[in-house]
Homo-oligomer: A and B are copies of this chain.
Amino acid sequence: MNVEDFYRLLFSRRDVRGEYLPDPVCPEVLARILNAAHHAPSVGLSQPWNFIVVREASRRRAVYREFTACREREAAHFEGEQRQRYDRLRLEGILTAPVNICVTCDRSRAGPAVLGRTQQPDTDIYSTVCAIQNLWLAARAEGLGLGWVSILRTDVLKTLFALPESVEPIAYLCLGHVSDFYSRPELEVRGWRNRLPLESLVWLDQWGETSAEDPLLVSVRRVSALD
């Protein structure tokens, strides 16, 4: 495949909140996107994920009520100008996106001992997040927008979707056609935070070690400048 095309896809993926269109998502397209998620890597090939496709309006309204309460609690963490900026942000598309998806992780999948998970028990959750990122990129490749809503309490989601004891909600996603995509992250456009220079995030061999003349760091600066 064309490497440039792949990077273009990756760079144009956005967290979508306000631009959803009411048009339904074709079942065939949604199936392809879920299949992309299912082809994520998973620890010991455990495939701990499930996808609850939420279309019922009543259930989405219940999630929206929970979001509203959580947003209020979160807002209290910010003060002054930051709080004003927070209040102006659109943070979800729960009712406007035609499809929501609750992605879960079954912590008992594949039995008590999973290859690769005995020393790092949370790698099943990491596998589930890999599936979510696959899903997100597949949606973008299909021209659809996706937004991850994390201003929700997991115990409430667990009750709302009747999850068994061993199953944890990892992500609540909104999905749909969109009027357009921001060209940069919306939080950056709206002055919330900027992208950090990649150079400041790369270390050599141990934490804190760097060298401006190292060929890798020279390349990192060059690649970042093309962004």
Contacts and interface: CB of A to CB of B under 8 A. Distances in A.
A212 interface: no
Contacts of A160: 206
Interface of A: 1-3, 5-11, 13, 15, 27-28, 30-32, 34-36, 38-41, 43-47, 49-56, 59, 70, 73-74, 77-78, 86, 89, 91, 104, 110, 112-113, 115-120, 122-123, 125-126, 129-130, 132-134, 136-138, 141-142, 148, 150-154, 160-164, 167, 170-171, 185, 187-188, 192-196, 198, 201-208, 215-216, 218-220, 222-224, 227
A154 B8 contact: no
A35 B202 CA distance: 10
A216 B53 contact: yes
Contacts of A89: 115
A185 B192 CA distance: 41
